Structure 1
């Protein structure tokens, strides 16, 4: 099947990137991978694929490069740093940028890479590690028609829903920023609600059961408060991710003097959790900022 498909590489094998790489492999692509942890790339390659030592080596072998790193700074390093993608990519190759970034930064990268003869797809992602691994995540994309044409097969294989939001970079990142506003506020208010229940002596598992079957439920309450009940703060998405993402939300709104009171409050909650030492824990650890509560322990039953 490989000969009929574009050669594809994935840079960044975190929770989402590894799932994307596995999804592409299961869809018949020969997937090249690169990660700062050489052992992660080697482990993926041992089950089928090619491990590359540098982004440049990956770019030289692939016509579509999917970047699943954390932020704009890491994308800059991947693209333009020593052994970067931009200097080694084949003419006409496409860079698919899946991070949550400032929309203006994304717009600038399209211009810069186009000037180098490369295509660019603004393509933030959502859905979590499980949906990335099953090919059911959501992509919020915007790109020029030529970029879509080059990357179409890869995008459709990666995600269950690929939204095309505009014919140039920026729109995808703007929609992702709005999604992160809601996600961050929902996690913060879910933690607040659970904390109030604990403070008032309500059984945590019973509260979870009732809320998840009532009008007050949200996807974030159901997903993240299950982590709290299990006392499992393994970082599928860390507190510091929302320090960054809600910061981007507020920066975007501030540029047009647009008020975001709930997003600002949620950002302060994640900032407080990070300062208290929970930055690298799961974002549900924002509940730990509330005083006078006893959180469920790992020994207690989970829903």
Structure 2
């Protein structure tokens, strides 16, 4: 029997900050890539950078056998895969879906079973590293799936990641590890905001405080990465407050399933929820410090003149 030629084209659904970076990193690595996003502006941006794009997942399915889902949540995963003009029913048998969104482990496990029943492979492959590392092809991928799924997705994984952690042979394990990461990330951002609020409330110069802490035992990656957003008064959403409202809620949903109490995560969730309720949900997650500022009498740094000119 004549062997069918291999289709190396990779589809990327979701051309936000992370998806756009991943798609461009794959183009740079020499892979043929087709992007898909509901936003015409995002599609135009990708095409201007040398990629191809389509407006619907169904159209993507007819040209790709490996598709990455770089969307926000489980609801968007459902819509992309099983909604009107969805992906799952249009893909060729044996195709691979690389699911990168942060979702509940129980959802990822069930999704893998649903796709398997449709003769589709799935890698449970949530990502970490931010937009800059996505563009550089240096993400960390916390993944699980079958050997066959890894073989199909190898070229895409090589192009997008500095490190691919193979954590198990079925979907759900990758999402479990990502949830631990998001627990810590959310707690560390909230703790960094609270610590800076404490320092500023005591009258310490915030620039000096940042310099000292980043060279002391109290430092964390999130403190070092997010506090400069506060110092520059730049809350452009590289990762928004509402992302951690979502992710820490998933942490608590999973904790309830496991009957595991997590009071530290609960406190961080309340702070992000308060920030969202105060109207900061679409701002950078460092904006959680504004909750502390509203409740106490201290001044946050303001944008300098050069930053204001850049915004005008």
- The bucket for the TM-score relative to the shorter chain is over 0.9
Per-residue CA shift, 1:48-105, capped at 9, x if unaligned? 2211121110111001000100000000000011111111111111010100001111
Asked if structure 1 preserves the Cα contact closer than 8 Å seen for 2:142 and 2:165, the reply is yes
TM-superposed deviation, 1:46? 2.7
- Structure 1 residue 4: Cα displacement: 7.7
CA contact (8 A) 1:5 1:29 kept: no
Find runs of 4+ consecutive structure 1 residues off by over 3 angstroms.
none
- Equivalent residue for 2:138? 136
Match of 2:246 among 244, 256, 259: 244
1:292 matched to which residue of 2?
A: 297
Q: How does 1:146-225 map onto structure 2 within 5 Å?
A: 146-225=148-227
Structure 2: give runs of 5+ residues left out of the alignment: 308-312
Q: Give the Cα–Cα distance (whole angstroms) in 1 for the partners of residues 40 and 61 of structure 2.
A: 17
Residue 110 (structure 1) aligned with residue 112 (structure 2):
yes
Q: How many residues align?
A: 300
Identify the residue that residue 66 of structure 2 maps to in structure 1. Answer: 64
Normalising by structure 2, report the TM-score.
0.94
* CA distance in structure 1 between the partners assigned to 2:237 and 2:45 by the alignment: 21
Q: Identify the residue that residue 231 of structure 1 maps to in structure 2.
A: 233
| 3-state SS of paired residue (1:148) | helix
Q: What's the counterpart of residue 268 of structure 1?
A: 270
Structure 1 gap segments, 5+ residues each: none
Check the 8 A contact 1:230/1:296 in 2, yes or no: yes
What is the Cα-based RMSD across aligned positions, in Å? Answer: 1.5
String of CA shifts for 1:158-177, please: whole Å, max 9, x gaps.
Answer: 10000000000000000000
When normalised by structure 1's length, the TM-score is 0.96
- Corresponding residue SS for 1:88: coil
Distance 1:193 1:59 in 2: 48
How far apart, in 2, do the equivalents of 1:47 and 1:170 lie? 34
CA distance in 1, matches of 2:235, 2:6: 42
Q: State the alpha-carbon separation in 2 of the partners of residues 47 and 228 from structure 1.
A: 31
Q: Distance in 2 between matches of 1:232 and 1:92?
A: 45
Output the CA distance in 2 between the equivalents of 1:111 and 1:66.
Answer: 18
